[in-house]
A and B are shown apart, each in its own frame.
Chain A
Amino acid sequence: MVVNKLSPRAGINAICIADSKYKTDLTTVGFITPASPQTAAETALLSNVLTCSCEKYKTMKALNRRLDELYDAELSADVAVFGDLYILLLTVSSLNGRYALDGTDIRKGSLDILSSVIMRPLFDNGIFQRATVRGEKKQLISEIDSQRSHRRSYAVGRCAELMYKDGIYTPRLGRAKDVENINAETLTERYKEIIMSSPVQIVTVSGDNDGVAEQFVKDFASLFPGGERPEYSRNASHLPVYDVETVCEDEPAGQGVLCIGFDACSRLSDGDYHIFTLYNEILAGAPTSKLFMNVREKLSLCYYCSAGHDPMKGTMIINAGIENEKFELARDEIFRQVDEMKNGGFTDDELNAAKRSLKSIYSAKSDSPSSISSWYFNRALCDRIITPEENARRIENVTRDEIASAAARVSPRLIYFSRGTGVQ
């Protein structure tokens, strides 16, 4: 695998990865903005509008047709909250050219579409088309409202929102009321602001190491207007300090979802984040983790019990789908396992199994273009670029004392229970 880093212009950086084993090529362009609920709504809407059409392909049908001709190339837009940053991501993924049966230059065509939708959107009299903005606003509001029907992820998001308190938490898709207030003029302003001044991080992954990706990066960077792209903070703000609270909310569903939010005080921007990932693997990772073995296997309380963590904020949310009546039992068992970790209550076998599991996970990163792209993108944001293999080596050297010290920093902040009130 070849990894090239480029900085074609101030504030525009790229990582180009090539390995002949890849059957698909993937290019992601990320715009890095500060997180706030208001601009999140605008940026999320922008991500949808940009992928509807462009100057060259004026309708969604024409754009999709061109993607189909390129062997079903996939153009996607997404947004992500990354600590105190809010990222707009535009990605094109396509078959590597060696799989074209008719000589189509798939990569050239796909990169042209990516560049077109970002740099030459479809405007009417200098602003986005009103009908498109109107239609996409409805779609986005519907998407925001739909989040509630995904029981587990909604409960985890709600727990995070309550943990972060007012003013800090940015919902990934923004708030519906902020989407309502957007019009074609304000959206165009937001677009221009992002293109003019947001730092840009590009990651390309290809089955060919032929310089095409590097040339694309240089050509693409030259399309941006000149001007300063301010440095962004690599360190997220800390959670406010408050006493542990319990919040229960009712949902019209059969199952309850218990979430316990912790401040783990370990962040990707720190030098020792890998110690926390090992802690997390022992506690909540593999099917031999302490939560799986005790909350699920020993007590039969749930089907899933695992933890998600925000690597920028340094938070961890343990979540489990349970019967309402088992709330206290499950909560107490989860805390018991978290406390055991603090007291060194894990065996050398468990530690070594977690090391092996993580080593395997890191080795697998390089097999998938999307996994390796995310790996480098996230680490570039924190300015901590290391290879997955290097990370695996660091994990290998972690000691019991280091894990105990990571465990000691983990403190509970919020117990959130989404109680099921029954189904119709």
Chain B
Amino acid sequence: MNTEIKTETYSATGEKYFRFTHKSGVTVLLAPNNYSTSHAIFAAKYGSVDNTFTLDGVKYSVPAGIAHFLEHKLFETETGGDAFELFAKTGADANAFTSRSVTAYLFTSTENFYKSLKILLDFVSHPHFTEASVKKEQGIICQELAMYEDSPPSRCANNLLRCLYKNHPVREDIVGTRESIQSITPEHLYLCHRAFYTMPNMILSVSGNVDIDRVKSVMDECLPSSCKTAAKSVLPKEPENAYKKLSRCRMQVANPLFCFGIKDTDISPDPELRQKKSMALTVLADMLFGPSSVFYNKLYADGLINGELSPGYSYSDSFANFTVSGESVKPFTVRRRIYECIEKALADGINEDDFEISEKITYAGFVRSLQDSESYAYEMLSSELDGVSLLGFPEAVKSITPQYALDMLGEIYKRSACAFSVVDKLQ
């Protein structure tokens, strides 16, 4: 099978990377560069939202948190050892993470890159689970869950998602619940691995001082050539309005934390349109709520907010939301001001010079994200998951006009789609 290698470039900075499909079906992204370290990520397009799916015509529902559980358990090797022990022999620093849309396994190395790559591809594609090891992991993951539950920012953000969404599994914690974690069995794990770790559902993203032919050769050696397609996630229909308007809880905090969110259910099937909308709303979020905004400086001067605000728009192919989070002694006053700020922008328009500067900020973020091999590999993966090219980003930003950004905000904004999560001080 001939492999067609596509070169992605951005001439203004001289960046480039290669993209091809390996004969196994795995999509490969490879950015050669001269950093001291090389970084590889092997990822499944499978995240915490994929709990209900059809495989070979049969519909399955599995416990919440299983994608994350699988991420922990895949490190166990068929000989009863641990992939970390194998990486220790090559000097690579390995890790993994699970998000709502992806599960990724990765390593950073300064030597023995190809040996480490072989270990990575091997352990991810060869699962081995036993009753005893699954039971042992339940204790560890319950402590991980407890750690997140004790984190006020994490609680605040998760409670917002539970308010915004009624049915979509994005409302569940990535780690799951104690009950769902305790109910996971080796059979569940094998099923999910078979369903979602098929080679065409995998992406390998590599950045560093590496040779494309040697990477292909390791892949030839390690990966099966099956082209079986992955299971298809079944996602419930989500209403346009927020499920609940408000969530409040109390924790050990000096000042209340808040997360404001707008649910966006109008998600285009076209990845480029999704990206364009995301960039427009990201630029606008910075302009309206960033450190140079009138909004931020007024609230800071009035003592209404502490530290910085975090505005942004996040999206996948099945959910999207616009959020502003921060810390305030009067969170409900801040919420009123957020409403006023958005409604004023929609009614009066925005300053075009400010918009241009916010575009500059977005471009700077793009360059910064490529400043080491680890973030380069991660950004290539993220763009691939979004279905767009990483290096097309600066040109795509340029194509956005202030009016387009306002139109997008106007489309998603209605008070009925908004929710607010507050973590109050303990009494």
Contacts and interface: CB of A to CB of B under 8 A. Distances in A.
Interface of A: 21-24, 59-61, 64-65, 67-69, 71-72, 95, 98-99, 101, 135, 138-139, 142-146, 148-152, 251-255, 286-288, 296-297, 300-304, 321-323, 349, 353, 356-357, 359-361, 363-364, 366-369, 420, 423-424
A145 B110 CA distance: 41
Contact of A353 (B88, B297, B363): B88
B37 A142 contact: no
B252 A149 contact: yes
Contacts of A287: 84, 94
B13 A367 contact: no
Interface stretch (B20-28, B132-140, B383-391): B132-140
A367 B35 contact: yes
B254 A99 contact: no
Contacts, number: 179
Contact of A22 (B84, B91, B371): B371
A424 B36 contact: no
Given A23-B368, A99-B13, A303 B141 contact: yes
A47 to B, nearest CB: 14
Contacts of A360: 37, 91-93, 108-111
Interface stretch (B193-201, B298-306, B311-319, B409-417): B298-306
B363 A101 contact: yes
Q: Which A-B residue pairs are the 5 nearest by beta carbons?
A: A356-B91, A145-B254, A300-B139, A353-B88, A303-B144
B373 A357 contact: no
A64 B146 contact: no
Given A139-B307, A251-B252, A368 B143 contact: no
B340 interface: no
Contacts of A64: 291-292, 297
Given A68-B361, A367-B37, A149 B251 contact: yes
Contacts of B108: 360, 364
Nearest to A366: B36
Given A64-B292, A252-B251, A302 B140 contact: yes
Contact of B360 (A69, A144, A151, A357): A69
Contacts of A367: 35-37, 372-373
Given A148-B252, A302-B140, 17 more contacts: A21-B35, A60-B300, A60-B301, A64-B291, A71-B363, A71-B364, A135-B301, A143-B254, A146-B253, A146-B254, A303-B143, A303-B144, A322-B143, A349-B88, A364-B36, A364-B110, A423-B150
B247 interface: no
Contacts of B89: 349, 353, 356
B34 interface: yes
Nearest to B155: A423
Contacts of A71: 360-361, 363-364
A255 B372 contact: no
A60 B297 contact: yes
A303 B91 contact: no
Interface string B360-398: 110111011011110000000000000000000000000
B227 interface: no
Contacts of A349: 88-89
B161 to A, nearest CB: 19
A72 B363 CA distance: 9
B379 to A, nearest CB: 13
B352 interface: no
B1 interface: no
B205 to A, nearest CB: 17
A142 B294 CA distance: 23
Contacts of B78: none
Nearest to A69: B357
Query: In which size bucket is the chain B interface?
Result: 35 or more
Interface of B: 12-13, 33-37, 82, 84-85, 88-94, 108-111, 136-141, 143-144, 146-147, 149-152, 249-255, 291-292, 294, 297, 300-301, 303, 306-307, 327, 357-358, 360-361, 363-365, 367-368, 370-373, 426
A253 B252 contact: yes
A363 B363 contact: no
A64 B290 CA distance: 9
A420 B35 CA distance: 44
A100 B82 CA distance: 47
Contacts of A21: 33-35
Contacts of A366: 36
A266 B42 CA distance: 39
Nearest to B357: A68
B318 to A, nearest CB: 29
- A21, A95, A101, A356: residue with the most chain B Cβ atoms closer than 10 Å: A356
Contacts of A138: 303
15 contacts: A23-B370, A64-B292, A71-B360, A71-B364, A99-B364, A254-B149, A297-B140, A300-B139, A303-B140, A303-B143, A356-B111, A360-B91, A360-B92, A360-B108, A364-B36
Nearest to A71: B364
B14 to A, nearest CB: 9
Contacts of B297: 59-61, 64
Contacts of B254: 142-146, 148-149
A163 B33 CA distance: 46
B292 A61 contact: yes
Contacts of B363: 71, 101
B357 A321 contact: no
A300 B300 contact: no
Given A71-B360, A364-B110, A424-B426, A357 B91 contact: yes
B186 to A, nearest CB: 17
Contacts of A359: 91, 110-111
B147 to A, nearest CB: 5
A330 to B, nearest CB: 11
B367 A23 contact: yes
A254 B149 CA distance: 7
Contacts of A423: 149-150, 251
